[in-house]
């Protein structure tokens, strides 16, 4: 292979990536809130998906379109457990980006495309990890764990992850130690649709504070450290100092397993808690409430 051929191939690859950015850029916006700058993308006409963690808790939101025009945005809803928020703008003629849900192999090239002051930004890297469903530290169910080995600027959080074929595979966010994660398309479609319809994602609520403890026989349980007055736990007769050892007959070995059981579909369900109290075991029926907005 001649030097000229190698140079031509590099130029072709460079041009291909530039085309991918150019295709995605018309759907990506810069997002500004009180103390943050991030990115977002048109998910549906007039609706923008962005990273929830990058948004200020209060204040006004502004988006800058690819044309440079700035618009006020209204918060439709936010879900901190999956890091997804939805904003609405009075501008519905910009193209929503189609989200793809195919599997992403480790080693595949990927772009993180964001926006800053109306101009696109991009970072190139590889998919360093791609596995199945996982739960965030805040208890959110995410359809796949995809990690990108690239250096992304702060303002690109909430932008799009684009694979080598030009498919938008999800939203780029920062994980622990600023590792770049992708919230996959399937999770965005599921959560954003609920936010659009209801403005929130309901979460199960027990009104109990937990701490993992060891119990006799080498097992583990979850001790009740506090009981909120008038909460579902209090109404069911759960006491401070009780130890939850089973949930619907299944052993409870981690606090996180309880959090996972309190997803959107758990609200209103009645579960049976196996409690250890004063050396005795008793079963208590508890109806899961909905976590207050605060």
When pLDDT is averaged across residues 46-55 and rounded to a whole number, the result is: 95
Whether 131 and 275 share a structural domain: no
User: In this structure, what CATH number is given to the domain that contains residue 92?
Assistant: 2.40.10.120
Top pLDDT among 118 and 160 is at 160
Whether 237 and 135 share a structural domain: no
Whether 125 and 172 share a structural domain: yes
* Domain count of the fold of the chain: 2
Q: Is the pLDDT of residue 85 over 80?
A: yes
When pLDDT is averaged across residues 18-44 and rounded to a whole number, the result is: 94
Q: Which of 185, 200, 215 is the last residue of a domain?
A: 200
Of 95, 98, 36, the closest CA to residue 66 belongs to 95
pLDDT confidence bin for 102, thresholds 50/70/90: confident
Q: Is the pLDDT of residue 187 over 90?
A: yes
- Print the domain residue range for 176: 1-200
Looking at residue 282, its pLDDT comes to 93
pTM for the full predicted model? 0.82
Low-confidence winner among 21-25, 70-74, 90-94 (lowest mean pLDDT): 90-94
Looking at residue 292, its pLDDT comes to 83
pLDDT confidence bin for 294, thresholds 50/70/90: low
Whether 177 and 210 share a structural domain: no
Q: Which of 146, 171, 200 is the last residue of a domain?
A: 200
Q: For the segment 221-269, what is each residue's pLDDT rounded down to a tens digit? A: 899 999 999 999 999 999 999 999 999 999 988 888 888 888 888 899 9
Whether 111 and 19 share a structural domain: yes
Whether 92 and 184 share a structural domain: yes
Whether 150 and 242 share a structural domain: no
Whether 243 and 271 share a structural domain: yes
When pLDDT is averaged across residues 141-155 and rounded to a whole number, the result is: 96
Top pLDDT among 112 and 33 is at 112
Q: Phi and psi for 136 in degrees, rounded to 5? A: -70, 165
Considering the chain, what is the average pLDDT of its residues?
Answer: 91
Span between the terminal Cα atoms of the chain, in Å: 64
Looking at residue 20, its pLDDT comes to 95
Looking at residue 215, its pLDDT comes to 84
pLDDT confidence bin for 2, thresholds 50/70/90: low
Q: Which of 160, 176, 200 is the last residue of a domain?
A: 200
User: In this structure, what CATH number is given to the domain that contains residue 216?
Assistant: 2.30.42.10
Top pLDDT among 3 and 41 is at 41
Looking at residue 9, its pLDDT comes to 86
Top pLDDT among 114 and 291 is at 114
pLDDT confidence bin for 174, thresholds 50/70/90: very high
Looking at residue 152, its pLDDT comes to 97
Whether 65 and 172 share a structural domain: yes
Looking at residue 249, its pLDDT comes to 92
Whether 180 and 215 share a structural domain: no
Report the percent of the chain where pLDDT is more than 90: 71
Whether 45 and 188 share a structural domain: yes
Whether 179 and 249 share a structural domain: no
Q: Is the pLDDT of residue 62 over 90?
A: yes
When pLDDT is averaged across residues 150-177 and rounded to a whole number, the result is: 96
């Amino acid at each position: 292979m001649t030097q000229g051929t190698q140079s031509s191939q590099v130029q072709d690859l460079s041009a291909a990536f530039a085309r991918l950015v150019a295709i995605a850029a018309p759907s990506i916006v810069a997002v500004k809130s009180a103390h943050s700058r991030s990115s977002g993308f048109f998910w549906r006409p007039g609706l923008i998906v962005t990273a929830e963690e990058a948004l200020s808790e209060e204040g006004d939101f502004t988006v800058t379109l690819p044309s440079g025009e700035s618009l006020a945005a209204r918060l439709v809803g936010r879900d901190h457990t999956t890091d997804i928020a939805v904003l609405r703008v009075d501008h519905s003629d910009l193209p929503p980006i189609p989200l793809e849900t195919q599997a992403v192999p480790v080693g595949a090239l990927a772009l993180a495309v964001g926006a800053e002051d109306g101009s696109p930004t991009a970072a190139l890297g590889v998919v360093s990890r791609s596995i199945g469903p996982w739960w965030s530290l805040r208890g959110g169910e995410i359809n796949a764990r995809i990690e990108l080995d690239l250096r992304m600027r702060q303002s690109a959080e909430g932008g799009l992850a684009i694979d080598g074929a030009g498919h938008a595979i999800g939203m780029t966010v920062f994980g622990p130690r600023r590792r770049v994660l992708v919230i996959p398309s399937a999770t965005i479609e599921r959560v954003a649709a609920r936010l659009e319809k209801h403005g929130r994602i309901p979460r199960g609520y027990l009104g109990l504070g937990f701490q993992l403890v060891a119990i006799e026989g080498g097992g583990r349980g979850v001790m009740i450290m506090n009981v909120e007055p008038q909460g579902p736990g209090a109404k069911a007769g759960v006491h401070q100092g009780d130890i939850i050892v089973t949930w619907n007959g299944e052993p409870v070995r981690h606090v996180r397993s309880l959090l996972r059981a309190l997803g959107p579909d758990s609200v209103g369900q009645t579960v049976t808690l196996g409690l250890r109290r004063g050396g005795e075991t008793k079963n208590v029926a508890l109806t899961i409430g909905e976590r207050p907005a605060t």
